[in-house]
Amino acid sequence: KKLIFDGRMYMLDDTAFPSGLIKRVIFANKRGRITRERALKGEIAEVLKRAEQARKLFPDASLVCLLDKGVQELKVDGTRTYRYHFQGLIANPEKLNAATVLIPFEEDLEKVKVLLARTIKPDGRVVNLEPREIRVTKASSGSVYFGREKHLSFTLPEVSPGDVIEYIYEDYVFNPWDRKVFDPEWYFGGEDPVLHSEITIITPAGEKLKYVIKHDPDGKVKRAVDEGVEVNRYFFYADSVPQVVEEPLMPPVSTVVPSLHASNQENWDYIFDWYAAFQRERMEVTPEIKALADSLVSEAECEDDSIARIYHWVQRNIRYISIKGAAASGVSGHPAWETLRNGYGDCTDKSILFSALLRAVGIEAYPVYIETNDSGELIPEIPSFQGNHCITEVIKKDGTNLFLDATGTTSRYPSFWSADHGCWAVNALRRKIEKIPVPPPSSNLRSYRYVMELDSSGNLYVRYRSSYRGDWEDGVRWYWQHVRENEIGDRFREMLGDIAPDVELVSYKLNNLHDLSKPFSIELEYRIGNYLERAGDLFLLRLPEIEDRYKFPEVSLRRRKYDIFYGTSAMIKDEYVLRFPEKFRLEYLPGDTILKFRGDYFKLSTEMKSGEVTHRDVFFRPDARIKAENYKEYRAFCRGIGRSVKRPLVFREVR
């Protein structure tokens, strides 16, 4: 082996070390088996020393990653290798499942081999994995997903709490999607604490990397870069990275831990061209597509109506089934005519067909790639094959644009899945990357109306109506479409049972359940027996369901480290109208409430007029994210809402 030191870095084979990490260098001759055994003992002793250090540093952790090491190398011919080395201390029984390792791969693209797999006992004893215990199986497919992926898996032997598990594997990618694009990334940390995490990236001299470090406000990630004559070496590492402790409604873990994103592309031009070449070919408007598009919009009254009719048709008539093959089909979809003929496709297929149908009637439309906000984030400054989803950008005749997602089955125009909101969208054909706006709160409105009559025995008769927009309408409509008709009544009875024990469902109606062109709403009539709550000589009436509607479990913590991430905006409107008999006299009517937090607000009002009590409230939240630094103020806002809606109406019996 050759060790090279250039004054800043030590370079040994495929690994580079900054000089600050090296305490001493020892050169020794090979002396056969005895030398190797001593070296192994020294190596095991070093691992156990790190394990003891980890116990002291992270005493409450169930698993500590002692070593999280990767080496990625781009070869001159565009093939690439990835070597991964993991050492983990199993501190508690709940993490014994970490001994089972699953490595996904596609055999027509890559080869994976295990170089080392062993269990290290606290006394230094080593139990090696038998090669025959390594399995290769086909990844399971679901009812809508059929992939070509396989899994290499093994379970490390004789693992008990207190042991260290260690494995090394190498992945040789001999058939990458595109040999010209190299886009490595690395995450320093996660759900378990990490003692040391490092990544070395090696490229040919002519392939310099553009890179960015994200989510590292404390500067934990250190780097050493050596761009040489023959190869370039990029080394990044972080020490003592604490685990991510989950908080309610926090952002995805990948967006809160330090991360590296890199590419050998200076700009997006080549990737735009690569995507666009597929898309142009696949969006061909055939006579069959033209005839269908014309028939769908033949009675449309305006451009929005035309878009809506095609949008709804694709959702309802093209089933979501993902069949993954080569990059051409997996990333850029099948031809629109083929998806139409098959009657099924994945998100890319449905977007391409939707775009082709719109183009057939003169409406500009493009497939765009995104990373959904529940998964992570697309890094616009790093050109790469990013994204896990494909939706559609539509340019209307007046120049305004909107985004639509035809993947599902229940999004009523112009709404689309909330996981797309606020994401970066890569539009290859327009050669643009733009932010998808978060819709205004009115686009996600939930409206509830209760007309209630209280009788002299304290029973409450309720006529209820709810309507929705946006993601709530999508989700509620989807839910009821998947309930058998003969079970709908039982589902409503079960839900009403959460309001009070003595509830009788009188009638129910689901309006426009299967007509996606019209708003969906629910109507119920039900009776609650003995609903009043007695408090001495007073009677309390709490408005049904309102407290549950304004529960905010995400503000249960006194302090938060991470933002609250809702994914989209929200708006709620309530109206309760109560009629009550002369037997009862209203003693207390809750006063009006107005609460504000930056752009959010809540307003509640109650009034007594013409023998009726009317309660109205409205909640308005335009932001999809609440910053952690504003949490204290936001928590007070939410808790204030919770207190205000808990105030009951108070009656006294007239004698």
CA distances from 188 to 48, 168, 212 (A): 22, 18, 13
Tell me the pLDDT tens digit for each residue of 176-197.
Answer: 989 999 999 999 999 999 999 9
Among 390, 413, 437, residue at a domain's last position: 437
> Looking at the DSSP assignment, which residues form a beta bridge with residue 175?
none
- At 141 the pLDDT is 57
Tell me the mean pLDDT in the region 120-135: 96
Domain of 371, in residue numbers:
270-437
What's 349-411 look like in SS3?
A: HHHHHHHHHHHHCCCEEEEEEECCCCCCCCCCCCCCCCCCEEEEEEECCCCCEEEECCCCCCC
Lowest mean pLDDT among 65-79, 147-161, 523-537, 562-576: 147-161
The answer to whether residues 373 and 292 belong to one domain is: yes
The answer to whether residues 453 and 546 belong to one domain is: yes
Kindly report the number of other CB atoms within 10 A of residue 335's CB atom. 20
The answer to whether residues 514 and 623 belong to one domain is: yes
- At 27 the pLDDT is 53
**DSSP letter (8 states) at residue 457:** T
**Residue 541 main-chain phi, psi, to 5 deg:** -125, 115
Question: Under 8 Å CB-to-CB from 317, ≥6 apart: which residues?
Answer: 343
> Looking at the DSSP assignment, which residues form a beta bridge with residue 538?
535, 652
- Cβ proximity of 539 and 653 under 8 Å: yes
Tell me the mean pLDDT in the region 564-569: 98
The answer to whether residues 184 and 64 belong to one domain is: yes
Which position has the token pair 């089933």? Answer: 319
The answer to whether residues 29 and 90 belong to one domain is: yes
Residue 21 pLDDT greater than 70, yes or no: no
The Cα–Cα gap between 207 and 249 comes to: 40
Residue 531 pLDDT greater than 80, yes or no: yes
Question: Under 8 Å CB-to-CB from 426, ≥6 apart: which residues?
Answer: 268, 271, 275, 368, 369, 370, 378, 386, 387, 433
> Domain holding 290: CATH number?
3.10.620.30
Tell me the mean pLDDT in the region 195-216: 96
Kindly report the number of other CB atoms within 10 A of residue 572's CB atom. 20
In three-state secondary structure terms, 537 is coil
Nearest to 372 by CA among 419, 416, 412: 419
Residue 632 pLDDT greater than 60, yes or no: yes
The answer to whether residues 99 and 129 belong to one domain is: yes
> Looking at the DSSP assignment, which residues form a beta bridge with residue 236?
199, 223
The Cα–Cα gap between 480 and 524 comes to: 14
What tokens does 230 get? 């023959």
Nearest to 535 by CA among 370, 636, 651: 651
- At 31 the pLDDT is 47
> Domain holding 70: CATH number?
2.60.40.3140
CA distances from 20 to 9, 10, 194 (A): 9, 10, 20
The answer to whether residues 398 and 276 belong to one domain is: yes
Would you give the distance in Å from CA 527 to the centre of its chain?
40
The answer to whether residues 433 and 446 belong to one domain is: no
> Looking at the DSSP assignment, which residues form a beta bridge with residue 504?
527
Residue 37's pLDDT band, with cuts at 50, 70 and 90, is: low
- At 138 the pLDDT is 87
Tell me the pLDDT tens digit for each residue of 333-368.
Answer: 899 999 999 999 999 999 999 999 999 999 999 999
Tell me the pLDDT tens digit for each residue of 425-480.
Answer: 999 999 999 999 999 999 999 999 999 999 999 999 999 999 999 999 999 999 99
- Cβ proximity of 637 and 554 under 8 Å: no
Q: Which amino acid is at 653?
A: E
Tell me the mean pLDDT in the region 550-556: 97
The answer to whether residues 293 and 222 belong to one domain is: no
The answer to whether residues 302 and 256 belong to one domain is: no
Residue 409 pLDDT greater than 70, yes or no: yes
Burial of 642 per CB tally in 10 Å (0-12, 13-18, 19+): middle
Q: Which amino acid is at 360?
A: A
DSSP string covering 462-488: EEEEEEE-HHHHHHHHHHHHTS-GGGH
In three-state secondary structure terms, 35 is helix
Tell me the mean pLDDT in the region 379-398: 96
- Cβ proximity of 315 and 410 under 8 Å: yes
Tell me the pLDDT tens digit for each residue of 277-330.
Answer: 999 999 999 999 999 999 999 999 999 999 999 999 999 999 999 876 555 455
Kindly report the number of other CB atoms within 10 A of residue 128's CB atom. 11
Q: Nearest 5 degrees, angle CA 50-CA 53-CA 57?
A: 135
Query: The pTM is what?
Result: 0.90
What tokens does 595 get? 């609460």
The Cα–Cα gap between 311 and 123 comes to: 65
Residue 574 pLDDT greater than 70, yes or no: yes
What tokens does 47 get? 């691992």
- At 436 the pLDDT is 98
As a whole number, the mean pLDDT across the chain is: 93
The answer to whether residues 330 and 205 belong to one domain is: no
Positive or negative, the CA dihedral 459, 465, 469, 475 is positive
Among 231, 264, 297, residue at a domain's last position: 264
The Cα–Cα gap between 421 and 435 comes to: 9
Number of residues assigned to the chain: 655
Q: Which amino acid is at 374?
A: D
Query: Residue 45, CB half-sphere, CA atoms under 13 Å: how many?
Result: 6
Residue 40's pLDDT band, with cuts at 50, 70 and 90, is: confident
Nearest to 313 by CA among 361, 364, 357: 357
DSSP string covering 235-285: EEEEEEEPP----TTPPPGGGTS-EEEEES-SSSHHHHHHHHHHHHHHT--
The number of distinct structural domains making up the chain is 3
Nearest to 347 by CA among 282, 411, 410, 391: 391
The answer to whether residues 122 and 155 belong to one domain is: yes
Among 244, 264, 284, residue at a domain's last position: 264
- At 2 the pLDDT is 57
Tell me the pLDDT tens digit for each residue of 579-593.
Answer: 999 999 999 999 999
Strand ranges for 497-569 from DSSP E: 503-511, 521-528, 533-535, 538-541, 564-565
Residue 648's pLDDT band, with cuts at 50, 70 and 90, is: very high
**Residue 508 main-chain phi, psi, to 5 deg:** -150, 155
Q: Nearest 5 degrees, angle CA 508-CA 510-CA 512?
A: 155
- At 30 the pLDDT is 47
Residue 253 pLDDT greater than 80, yes or no: yes
Tell me the mean pLDDT in the region 383-390: 93
> Domain holding 553: CATH number?
2.60.120.1130
Query: Residue 91, CB half-sphere, CA atoms under 13 Å: how many?
Result: 18
- Cβ proximity of 444 and 469 under 8 Å: yes
- At 628 the pLDDT is 97
